A and B are shown apart, each in its own frame.
Chain A
Amino acid sequence: MTARERIAGNVANYVDERTGAAAWMKKNLNKVFPDHWSFLLGEIALYSFIILLLSGTFLTFWFDPSQREVIYDGEYQPLAGLEMSAAYASTLDISFEVRGGLLMRQIHHWAALFFMVAIVVHLMRVYFTGAFRKPREFNWIIGVGLLTLGIVEGFLGYSLPDDLLSGTGIRIAEAIIQAIPVVGSYLAFFAFGGAFPGEAFIPRIFIVHVLILPAIFLALITVHLMLVWYQKHTQYPGPGRTEKNVVGYPLMPVYMAKAGGFFFVVFGVTTFIAAVASINPIWLYGPYTPGQISAGSQPDWYMGWLDGLVRMAPPLESYLFGYTISWNILIPGLIIPGLMFTGLALYPFIESWITGDKREHHLLDRPRNAPNRTAIGAMALTFTLVALINGGNDIIAQQFDLSINQIMWFSRIGIIVLPPIAFVITKRICISLQRSDRELVLHGKETGRLVRLPHGEFVEIHEELSPEKKWLLTSHEQNGPLELPEIDKAGVRRPSAIRNKLRSRMSQANAEVAPKVTTKDLNEIENH
């Protein structure tokens, strides 16, 4: 035994005698993780979060979260002698006087953008492959929670520097709070410690941004990961993969090296982009004052859809008995986002209600094999995308020399018309792809080789698929629709007839597929 082994052994012995960790470690070091590029998306989100914690901690050493007015006398000459908040002045100091400060600010901001991109794309992966199905509904809801908190955390973060752009964002947030019926103006005065902008808001959102929300994030991420660990990762269908097993690489050493290495890659790439690409140059915007604004005011991308909804809202307000209800703010700012996120969180339960499927699922769906789900996803994405485009309508109008009013009308009509079209097209594409899978299994792959037969006929050679590929294309389930009785045996309408009818209809739509290859089809081909 070498000296090193002896020391390691002693340490391990010391810990194990006090915790019994060896048994747990033995089991979990061999934990198996399936390998697929799309499983890295959640990892990117996790690593971006760690990068945010590290870079954010650095920034707090110099940032002064105060709206106390100071006269700027720092290195950046164009703003010399201007009145500004201490928050803005200290952000200028971080950018110009702390070595590496600007780099850290840019790493922090880029990492925040990547964090949100990774969350959204990870969510799309989980959605379109059906990874949210039993037993993973809890984790889906935690994920939706993380997405929602991420949007809030990002907004609070870029509001902290108190520049002209972010101050305008806070003004809009204040208007949304103020628009809440009955209690709105009270809530706004509580949040801002008086009339907008006051001197209380930045210090308050600072503590929410650096302590309260990160603590909630840490707790939710921990539970999210523990559930992934405990429930074992889902896997894509393929040869040897079943609902009862998990095929992949063991944690120690392969997965540790790959995942650990990937953390450094994500950190490295984020740092590279932060080094070469400027982001949020707050010194160009100037300090916030409510009487000024810069043209082309844009939120960060993950808020853009919300701003786009607000922009396209019709000018509706009701005046009742001396009170005002601002539909033009409430509908796009609170009601639609509320419906969107509630629908997102409840989707697993809605789907399982429609299919009547209460079994565990560990094999992922190929999106084409769940046409209805894929089409609903495409519909939701189209809705959000139209809203996002409208959030940049001023920039688009300027860059492409278009009329801003026309873009607005495109969005107002498009947000209602385009999502259903996206649904129909996506569903048809999915079913066509299923049909093409069926063709491939029955007739093989077109090789492009033309052969002339002795009697003069030209035929194209079709190459038979490998057994692995055939298995992949035929192993998915195709369950028929639920058929729920509206009338019971005695011929009486059931109390739940309407609900059953609705559920049967939705289930039928859900079960619409191109039938996959059956044994009968194969036999016919063979006898042909």
Chain B
Amino acid sequence: MAHEIEPISDPGIPPHVHRKADEDPVAAKRAERQVAILFSLSTLGTLLFIFSYVAIPDDVFIFLPIMGNTNAHQLFLGLGLAFSLFFIGIGAIHWAKTLMPDNEVTVQRHEFRSTEEDRKEFVKTAKEGAAAAGLGRRSLIKRSLGLSLGLVGLSPLILLRDLGPLPGDSLTKTSWKAGTRLVTDPGDRPIKPEDLEVGAVAQVLPELAPGKDHHKLSDIAKDAVLLIRLRPEEFNLDAERLSWTHEGIIAFSKICSHMGCAVALYEQQTKHLLCPCHQSTFDVTRAAKVLFGPAARPLPQLALALDAEGYLIAKQPFSEPVGPSFWERSS
């Protein structure tokens, strides 16, 4: 066990070896000069820093190997500051290593445990204090205090209630309604089927309500839709979903059903949509069925139709909530 005599005994701290500068005054003088030079290099660094700040305009670029075109102002400002700091550090360390005493010192540790006497004394004092306050005896005070302290802790939580509104139907509803025109993003132009060639992809948003000139980001976060045109025979959809397409144009929510990133990578050859965040892969020809990755649900599909003027419109709102899952989501 641990207390068995060690086969080899502790030889103790090895004898101290003197450095050159400890014995040779010339070496010591040389070390002193080295430290001074290092500190002076720091001064030069600060001068470079001031010079760069004042004299190098911030639109000058210089070419450096590996780094390419580099902003000279930022570069020399940074190098000046770096040198001014670095050489103070190196100088101080060199000073400590060559000239300051390097004798190792041994001190004793003490056990952290208090003495028995102190511990007894402490317990006694604590008990006396508690007894003097009468906490043990006066249970009415103890209980009412416990209750009031517990309740007072509630107030900050109550105050936080107005951090935000309740979700309401915000997570389940989007701006898409039956008859909403699809408009380009950016540009807000309505789209006709002939604007999209076979193989093309477009990001669209719902047409702005009259009087608004601007899509709110929190609306885009639910409304963004990806429009993809295939040859109609390439679809592998049931009758209902097929009726939601128009002349090979199919529309999906662009907001990933996993964690809400924009599903922006479309592979034209395989007709796969890929989310760049977590690589969930959806098959466009099969109503965005999940082929790979962590997403558990297909991207919601938007039913398309044409209005009287021949522009693409939503036939009906999304039939399910878009974006990532949440507790109240029903499927």
Contact = CB atoms under 8 A, between A and B. Distances in A.
Interface stretch (A120-128, A191-199, A210-218, A380-388): A191-199
Contacts of B165: 189, 193-194
Interface in B50-106: 53, 58, 67, 70-71, 73-75, 77-79, 81-93, 95-97, 100-102, 104-106
A291 B78 contact: no
A190 B112 CA distance: 47
B78 A264 contact: no
Contacts of A362: 109
Contact of A261 (B88, B166, B255, B264): B88
Interface in A30-74: 30, 32
A326 B261 contact: no
A408 B81 contact: no
A360 B328 contact: no
Contacts, number: 326
Contact of B96 (A184, A191, A254, A467): A254
Interface string A469-482: 01100110101100
A297 interface: yes
Most buried by A among B1, B58, B217, B264: B217
A448 interface: no
Contacts of B217: 197, 288-290
B8 A258 contact: no
Contact of B78 (A176, A274, A297): A274
B187 to A, nearest CB: 13
A46 B84 CA distance: 20
Contacts of A271: 78, 81-82, 85-86
A519 B293 contact: no
B330 A240 contact: no
Interface stretch (B188-196, B272-280, B309-317): B272-280
Interface residues of B, number: 97
A191 B163 contact: yes
Interface stretch (B11-19, B23-31, B120-128, B237-245): B11-19
Contact of A295 (B71, B111, B265, B294): B265
Interface string A206-234: 00000000000000000000000001100
Contacts of A420: none
Contacts of B323: 175
A468 B15 CA distance: 11
A291 B205 contact: yes
B218 A521 contact: no
B92 to A, nearest CB: 3
Interface string A226-253: 0000011000000110111111111001
B327 A185 contact: yes
Contacts of A289: 217, 220
A239 B10 contact: yes
A405 B293 CA distance: 8
Contacts of A322: 330
A168 to B, nearest CB: 6
A261 B90 contact: yes
Contacts of A249: 102, 104-105
A328 interface: yes
Contacts of B109: 232, 243-246, 362
A194 B9 CA distance: 71
Contacts of A176: 259
A254 B98 CA distance: 10
Contact of B221 (A135, A197, A275): A197
Contacts of B218: 194-198
A290 B92 contact: no
A266 B69 CA distance: 27
Mostly helix, strand, loop or mixed at chain B's interface? loop
B164 A275 contact: no
Interface in B140-174: 160, 163-167, 170-171
B42 to A, nearest CB: 8
Interface residues of A, number: 118
Given A264-B86, A268-B86, A405-B292, A103 B77 contact: yes
B78 A248 contact: no
Given A290-B255, A479-B2, A178 B324 contact: yes
A272 B79 contact: yes
B131 interface: no
A154 to B, nearest CB: 19
A200 interface: yes
Given A248-B104, A293-B262, A261 B93 contact: yes
A293 B277 contact: yes
A253 B109 CA distance: 21
A175 B89 CA distance: 46
Contacts of A180: 327
B258 interface: yes
Given A274-B78, A275-B74, A408 B324 contact: no
A285 interface: no
Interface stretch (A306-314, A337-345, A428-436): A306-314
Interface string A265-278: 11111011011100
Most buried by A among B9, B164, B167, B222: B164
B292 A408 contact: yes
A493 to B, nearest CB: 28
B254 interface: yes
Contacts of A258: 92-93, 96-97
B167 A250 contact: no
Interface string A103-123: 100100000000000000000
A288 B220 CA distance: 11
Interface in A87-112: 96, 99-100, 102-103, 106
A479 B108 CA distance: 25
Most buried by B among A179, A276, A362, A404: A276
Nearest to B91: A261
Interface of A: 30, 32, 96, 99-100, 102-103, 106, 135, 168, 171-172, 174-176, 178-186, 188-198, 200, 231-232, 239-240, 242-250, 253-254, 257-258, 260-269, 271-272, 274-276, 288-297, 307, 310-317, 319, 322-326, 328-329, 332, 360, 362, 393-394, 404-405, 408, 441, 467-468, 470-471, 474-475, 477, 479-480, 517-519, 521-522
15 contacts: A99-B58, A182-B327, A200-B164, A247-B13, A257-B96, A261-B92, A271-B81, A271-B82, A272-B79, A275-B81, A291-B220, A324-B331, A329-B258, A479-B1, A479-B2
Interface of B: 1-2, 5-14, 53, 58, 67, 70-71, 73-75, 77-79, 81-93, 95-97, 100-102, 104-109, 111-112, 160, 163-167, 170-171, 185, 203, 205, 217-218, 220-222, 224, 254-255, 258-262, 264-265, 276-280, 290, 292-297, 323-331
6 residue pairs, one from A and one from B, having the closest CB atoms: A275-B78, A268-B86, A261-B92, A264-B89, A240-B13, A265-B89
